[in-house]
Amino acid sequence: MIILKIVLAEQAGFCDGVRKAVEGALAAAGEGEVFALGPLAHNEALLRDLAKRGVVTVESLDQVPGGSTVIIRTHGVAPSVYGEAARRNLRLIDATCPYVKKLQLLVQKLVGEGQDVVIAGDPNHPEVQALVAWGEGRPRVVSAPAEAERLDLGERVALVAQTTQRRDIVDEIGEKLKAKVPAVEIYNTICQATARRQEEAARLAGRVDVMVVVGGRESANTGKLAEVCSARGVKTILVAEAGELDMSQLGRARVVGVTAGASTPDWTIKEVIGKMENEKNMAVQEGRETVETEYPDRGFREFAVGDVVRGVVVKVDDNEALVDIGYKSEGILPRQEVITGTDQALSQVLQPGQELELVVRNVNHQEGKILLSRRIIERKLRWQELEKAFSEGTVLTGRVKETVPAGMVIDLGGGFEGFMPGSMVDVRYIPDFSGFLNQEISFKVIELRREKEKVILSRKKVLEEAAAREKEETLKSLQNGQIIRGTVKRLTNFGAFVDVGGIDGLIHISEISWHRIEHPSEVLSVGDEINVKVIEVVPERERIGLSLRQAQPDPWSEIARKFKPGDITEGKVTRLVSFGAFVELIPGVEGLVHISQMAGFHVKQASEVAKEGQTVKVKILDINPEAKRVSLSMREANPRPKKESARQEHIDPGSSLTLGDVFGGLFDREKGE
């Protein structure tokens, strides 16, 4: 009969970052004394062991003799440390965790872009203190959601997290920030190994009676493990080493779970488990009860060609990347097995700490080498995205890689190319596509064939749909009486068509100007941007009536200010009619010269006295702006000179003049009057 079952979590003890830091420190200590800048890990037992082996912990570089070797711990340091070490000729071993290094560069970039950076973490933790330094002291640190409510934030906010922070706390802080600022960019910067360790601890806590968490009391990730286990409602015991474990705390527990922080050595975990095994066995050695311990399989996984694996990038150079996939050595990811842009460095695509899905291309067990490929995964994922875009009609973007007379070749990513026929490039005819070369454009997939990797694209469809949406929105928003901006698209004999937002409206020739015109081209040209007044909207017929003249001041409102009855001015004859002539005083305002006011003698037809286009002098008789009527007189503006009396009294008796010749003009004037 089993009286006690001990279950050890699979993800317990050293993480890869701490293991490599410890191995690097011990390797360097074999050649002489090594100085660790701050505790290499938050575990008292580990630090005591390192000290015995020649790894001395110091708090600052001032404590390090010149020319010595210094190892930077996994938590990272401020940027200034690197410069100071170089000035003092110190040899640096940078053991900063890849996840932490990636986070440092992210904080530096976000601050450089002017964003307000908030760090979810412990302000006293060395990792967080280094992050603040990478952000030039600008990031704010919050350890609890309530603290986020008190922050004074700008418009652009970015939230990052200490790599060992709990996901639920980060989520709560994110919600508090979103309540204060509409646009909050949240970055997932929690170490994936830490996240998996916490998830596994939570699952294990759900099926045991007691959880024992092993790790240093200064260790942030150990503390988070204890919090995660307690949150599942199970009794949780935190111990730094076996000597701290009081067996009475286990009580009547039948199943005990064990997990450990990332800085806890394997031997400390074994000592804690050994103490539980020994004391329980001693208590039941006279009976049949036994203690059973369930250890996870820590052996290396065997890999085969074609396996899909997940791994974390450890190192990147120009030719390849090293990826930790859980094998006895890092897998090799050559540059040619990663899809990159033209002249794009591998370091621009991959960064240490980045998690990838990969395919095993080759395995050499004798040499312990595994060759990996990202290209296969990327092509598979990209084709799936193309299939989804095709079925759902999603708009995609891509770079124009090549132009030919028949159309354009588009780089779709993932090693795929698509072809856009010339007829699908635009809604209008384009004779030459070279202007699109190397441009990023939007399009839809309109044909897809996997067997031939054939992808046909259309930019025209995107433009048509956008124009249709714009037209619909414009028709919904327009109202009679609005003054809006438009662009003249074409001119006809009867008016001008104006684009007012994806749809053309018509300005009838009578609504173009306050004065008479024969053709719209007298006032407008194609391409002119003008203000127009909406005078009619019929959505169901997509008809919009516009007026240019009504969007401008009414000249009749100016006529009374510029003229008064009795004024004499000049104007241009615009029309001759049977009852007189119309004369333009200012653009848009015509007055009538009645035929009786055209001359000081009887006029039968207006054309006897004036011609269209002629400039004449007129006298203003009356102005009525409300009725838009002005009465004019040419006769009073040009009075007939009186004849000299001497010429009328002295007549040569021998002449043949008659009385009609002498007085005829007088009779005609009286008749006309």
Catalytic option among 127, 200, 320, 511: 127
Quickly list DSSP for 625-639.
Answer: TTTTEEEEESTTTSP
Q: Concatenate the DSSP letters of all residues of 242-266 into one string.
A: GGG--GGGGTT-SEEEEEE-TT--H
Strands 589-594 and 629-633 come out as parallel
Alpha-carbon distance 202 to 10, whole Å? 12
Q: Phi, psi at residue 289, to the nearest 5°? A: -65, 145
* CB atoms closer than 10 angstroms to residue 220: 26
Sign of CA dihedral 222, 224, 228, 231: positive
**DSSP element (H, E) containing 600:** none
Q: Which of 252, 217, 214, 212 is nearest to 235 (CA)?
A: 212
| Burial degree of 74 (CB within 10 A; 0-12, 13-18, 19+) | buried
Question: Strand 495-499 vs strand 483-492: parallel, antiparallel, or unpaired?
Answer: antiparallel
Give the span between the Cα atoms of 61 and 30, in whole angstroms.
21
**Owner of token pair 């598979």:** 380
Give the C-alpha separation, 444 to 458, whole Å.
5
CB 58 within 8 A of CB 35: yes
Question: Tokens 């054309």 label which residue?
Answer: 607
CA distance 109 to 638: 84
3-state helix, strand, coil in the chain (%, to 5): 35, 30, 35
Read off the tokens for 626. Answer: 């409300």
Distances in Å between the alpha carbon of 565 and those of 151, 562, 584, 623?
73, 11, 16, 7
Phi and psi at residue 465, in whole multiples of 5°? Answer: -65, -40
CA-CA distance, 222 to 261, in Å (whole number)? Answer: 4
The amino acid present at 328, given as its one-letter code, is K
* Cα gap 94→74, rounded to integer Å: 8
Is 257 in contact with 205 (CB distance < 8 Å)?
A: yes
Whether 367 is catalytic: no
Phi, psi of 452 (to 5 degrees): -110, 5
What are the residues facing 141 on neighbouring strands? 119
Three-state SS string across 365-425, please?
Answer: CCCCEEEEECHHHHHHHHHHHHHHHHHHCCCEEEEEEEEECCEEEEEEECCEEEEEEHHHC
Q: Determine contact, residues 392/349, Cβ cutoff 8 Å.
A: no
In whole angstroms, what is the distance from residue 575 CA to residue 268 CA? 111
CA distance 420 to 397: 13
For residues 213 and 230, what is the distance between their CA atoms, to the nearest angstrom? 11
Count the Cβ atoms, other than its own, within 10 Å of residue 80.
10
Q: Which residues are catalytic?
A: 127
